[in-house]
C-alpha cells in the first residue's frame, strides 16, 4: 500500500483548507451546534488533566514491545520492536485528538461505543472519560498492545472500558450474530480501502438513526482518501464532516444529504 508522502499530505491539507469553513459558514442547525458546542468548545475541563497524564505515562515509557501490524502499518515505525514512547509520540493520538474525542463523547453522550483499533488506548480512554456512563468496547488485534492498554486503563481506574484481543473480521462475524446496537463507532485500525469498506458493511446491522461513526486518518494514503469518499457517498449516510484529521458520518434520516468540511 502506498502511504502518502509529507509533500502529498501538505498538498492535501492546502486543498482541505481552501474548501473548509468554520461555524459561521454552517447553515445546518445540527452542524452549527456540533461545531460551536463541541468542536470549538473552549471549556478547560478538569478531565483534560487526566488525558494529559495518560499521554505522559505513555510518552515517557521506554519499554520495548513487539508489535505485529495487522493493517497498513505505521508510516514512520517499520520495525516490529518498538518503544512504547515512540508509538505514543509518533503514531498515537495527539493530545488535541484526545480532547476532541472526549468532547464528542461528552456532547453526544453515547451509551454504547465500539472502537476498532485500540493501539495504546488513548482514544478509548478519552471516549470513556467523556461519558462515564458509556460502555466502551475496544478491539485490538495485537495481544501486546491489548495488554498494554488494559494495564493503563486499570492504572487510571477507567472501569467502563472492555478491551478485546481479536481480529476485526472475527469480532465482526461474531457480532453479526447479535442485535447489539452502538451509538458511536470509531474506525481506526487498518487504513486500507477494502477492509475499511468491508468493516463498514458488516457494521450496518449495528448502526441506528443517531449513530455517530468516526473514521480516523482519512488522508493517510490514497487508499484512505478513496475509502472516505466511498463511505461518505454510501446510500445510508446522510451527512459527513471532514475535519482533515478524521471524518464523521451521520445517518439521521431527517437530515438532508450534505457533506461538510470544517476546520478545527
Which helix (DSSP H) or strand (DSSP E) does residue 243 occupy?
Answer: none
Per-residue CA distances from 3 to 142, 175, 192, 224, 244 (Å) = 21, 31, 10, 9, 16
Q: Per-residue pLDDT averaged across 24-44, rounded?
A: 87
Sequence-distant (6+) residues with CB within 8 A of 232 are: 240, 242, 247, 249, 259
Mean pLDDT of all residues in the chain? 89
How far apart are alpha carbons 165 and 163 in whole angstroms?
A: 7
The DSSP call for residue 190 is -
pLDDT category, 14, cuts 50, 70, 90?
Answer: low
- Give the whole-number percent of the chain exceeding pLDDT 90: 72
How far apart are alpha carbons 86 and 92 in whole angstroms?
A: 9
pLDDT category, 17, cuts 50, 70, 90?
Answer: low
111: its cell numbers: 451509551
Q: Which residue has the higher pLDDT, 206 or 3?
A: 206
Q: Lowest mean pLDDT of 14-18, 81-85, 123-127, 166-170, name the range.
A: 14-18
Residue 26 has pLDDT above 70, yes or no: no
Sequence-distant (6+) residues with CB within 8 A of 100 are: 39, 245, 246, 264
pLDDT at 1: 42
Each residue's pLDDT tens digit, 41-55: 999 999 999 999 999
Looking at domain 6-261, which of 3.40.50.720, 3.40.228.10, 1.10.10.10, 3.40.50.150 is its CATH number? 3.40.50.150
Model confidence pTM above 0.75: yes
The DSSP call for residue 26 is -
* Exposed e or buried b per residue across 153-170, where buried means at least 16 C-beta atoms within 10 angstroms of its C-beta: beebebebbebbbeebee
Beta strands in 77-188 (DSSP E): 81-83, 112-116, 135-140, 161-165, 182-187
Residue 251 has pLDDT above 60, yes or no: yes
Amino acid at each position: 500500500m502506498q502511504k502518502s508522502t509529507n509533500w502529498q499530505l501538505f498538498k492535501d491539507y492546502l486543498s482541505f483548507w481552501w474548501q473548509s469553513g468554520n461555524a459561521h459558514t454552517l447553515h445546518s442547525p445540527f452542524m452549527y451546534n456540533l461545531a460551536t458546542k463541541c468542536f470549538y468548545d473552549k471549556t478547560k475541563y478538569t478531565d483534560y488533566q487526566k488525558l494529559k497524564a495518560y499521554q505522559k505515562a505513555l510518552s515517557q515509557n521506554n519499554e520495548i514491545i513487539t508489535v505485529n501490524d495487522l493493517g497498513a502499518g505505521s508510516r514512520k515505525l517499520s520495525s516490529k520492536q518498538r518503544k512504547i514512547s515512540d508509538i505514543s509520540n509518533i503514531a498515537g493520538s495527539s493530545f488535541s485528538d484526545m480532547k476532541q474525542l472526549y468532547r464528542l463523547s461528552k456532547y453526544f453522550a453515547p451509551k454504547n461505543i465500539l472502537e476498532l483499533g485500540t493501539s495504546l488506548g488513548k482514544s478509548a480512554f478519552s471516549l470513556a472519560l467523556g461519558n462515564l456512563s458509556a460502555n466502551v468496547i475496544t478491539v485490538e488485534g495485537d495481544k501486546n498492545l491489548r495488554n498494554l492498554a488494559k494495564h493503563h486503563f486499570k492504572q487510571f481506574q477507567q472501569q467502563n472500558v472492555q478491551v478485546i484481543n481479536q481480529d476485526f473480521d472475527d469480532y465482526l462475524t461474531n457480532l453479526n450474530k447479535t442485535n447489539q446496537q452502538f451509538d458511536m463507532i470509531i474506525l481506526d485500525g487498518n487504513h486500507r480501502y477494502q477492509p475499511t469498506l468491508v468493516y463498514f458493511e458488516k457494521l450496518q446491522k449495528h448502526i441506528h438513526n443517531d449513530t455517530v461513526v468516526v473514521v480516523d486518518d482519512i488522508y493517510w494514503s490514497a487508499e484512505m482518501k478513496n475509502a472516505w469518499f466511498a463511505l461518505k457517498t454510501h446510500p445510508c449516510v446522510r451527512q459527513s464532516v471532514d475535519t482533515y484529521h478524521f471524518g464523521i458520518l451521520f445517518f439521521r434520516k431527517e437530515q438532508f444529504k450534505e457533506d461538510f468540511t470544517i476546520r478545527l
